[in-house]
Amino acid sequence: MSGDIKMRRAIGSHGTVHGVDGLQQRHDAAQTLPALFCDSAGCAAPLIFVPARPRPKTDPAYPAPMPGYFALDKGAAHVTGCRYNVAGHLAEVLDAAAASDPAFVQRLEDGRHELRLLALHQGLKRGGGALPEQQMRLLSTLLVLRAMCGNDALLADRVVLRLGKKKLAWDAFFHDPAHYDEAWARLDAASNEVPMALLGTVRSHRSPPPGTGAGATYLNCAPKYQKTGVMDRREFYEVSVGHDDAAWLQRFPVGAEIVMFGLWRQGNSHTSTRPHPTDPRRSITNVTHKLALRPGSPGQLAVVA
């Protein structure tokens, strides 16, 4: 299953490190791309560059497209110890956790592992940094591995999520930007704050203006844009994390891909209308829905690297 992993870096045949941005520029300029290999020590599996989907020129409001990435070339495979061998890494992490904290990670008879999230959930509800940190770290590792996979298949196959008596399906628990609307709908249907993990790309940080006293800084992710089927009406799903420690949020730079876990809540939706740029008879309506997180522990945010 490691064939699905999207990588953000590759090396060339002379050891040059290539990032996604540089390769995207060469691609856009129709230049020949170099031969590319996995950058994990001792692996060197051949890779290909998959460029970003282009932004439609007709719609300037369309948010930045999903970035490009590197993927395994056809028939290629990562070596056993490669850090992109997510299935292998996942098995190691689960075995170690089941040995050290069996109350949190339980090996089931069918070989899967059950993750018991109740203590973590109660810690989140109490707030004030009362989280079991070791459990948070393990969950964060699993969320990063899930993000690297690009889909739920591997984690859903190996890990059962349990919250008290309820099981949580991975597709109800982890939401990438294409599914922000589903995360929002879950919050809409719930009477309480809901434990979920969201994957996002950092777009901006917004701090209170200097001199206005204390206040939260917000880390905003690239939103999901959605056509509604109604002409001139568009929906946006915005994801933001608020915290008083601006320096901590700044440690997740613009462009970084991050996972955010915690008790999410809905912000107020708002609607704005503006004239159509070329047709005076029409107007464009944007509806913005908000998903907000106020983390109490630094472990609730992690970079996908």
- Please give the residue ranges that form the binding site for Zn ion (CB under 5 A): 38, 40, 43, 45, 78, 82, 84
Q: Which is nearer to Zn ion, 36 or 263 (CB)?
A: 36
Residue 281 φ/ψ, nearest 5 degrees: -80, -15
Minimal distance, residue 187 CB to Zn ion, in Å: 37
Task: Report the C-alpha dihedral over residues 227, 228, 229, 234, rounded to 10 degrees.
Answer: -60
DSSP 3-state assignment of 71? strand
Q: Which is nearer to Zn ion, 87 or 216 (CB)?
A: 87
Q: Which is nearer to Zn ion, 38 or 160 (CB)?
A: 38
Distance CA 31, CA 264 (A): 44
Minimal distance, residue 145 CB to Zn ion, in Å: 15
CB 115 within 8 A of CB 94: no
Which of 66, 15, 61 shows the shortest CA–CA distance to 38? 15
In angstroms, the Cα distances linking 2 to 81, 149, 158, 197 are: 12, 7, 14, 22
Q: Which is nearer to Zn ion, 40 or 201 (CB)?
A: 40
Minimal distance, residue 82 CB to Zn ion, in Å: 3
In angstroms, the Cα distances linking 116 to 84, 97, 132, 164, 237 are: 26, 12, 12, 7, 30
Minimal distance, residue 3 CB to Zn ion, in Å: 11
Q: Which is nearer to Zn ion, 10 or 241 (CB)?
A: 10
